[in-house]
Amino acid sequence: MMLKVNAKGLSCPQPVLFTKKAIETMDSDGAVVLLDSLTSLENCKRYAEKLNCSTTVEMEDGEIRLILKKRSE
């Protein structure tokens, strides 16, 4: 089951910290981080990619979903 983290309405650095925790605890299914700002999205995406995660972004009705998966070493 994919881990879901809600970081909507939070200001930096909280969304990045939530993303860090999601990466540390997610299993092979990955995680989805819910965001509501493009700034948070860019910061979280950059951080996740730095930690060797693939990222996919979905946007719908003002909600941003950053989908994370650990890359194979």
Q: pLDDT digits over 23-64, tens only?
A: 999 998 999 999 999 999 999 999 999 999 999 999 988 889
Fold that domain 3-70 belongs to in CATH:
Translation Initiation Factor IF3 (3.30.110)
Comparing CA positions, the residue from 52, 54, 58, 48 lying closest to residue 69 is 54
| CA distance from start to end of the chain | 22
Q: Calculate the CA dihedral of residues 19, 3, 68, 48 and round it to 10 degrees.
A: 20
Q: What is the pLDDT of residue 73?
A: 61
Q: How many CB atoms lie within 10 A of CB 35?
A: 28
Domain spans in the chain, listed from the N-terminal domain onward: 3-70
Structural element, H or E, at residue 70: strand 63-70
- The confidence band for 1, taking pLDDT boundaries of 50, 70 and 90, is confident
Q: Which position has the token pair 């941003």?
A: 64
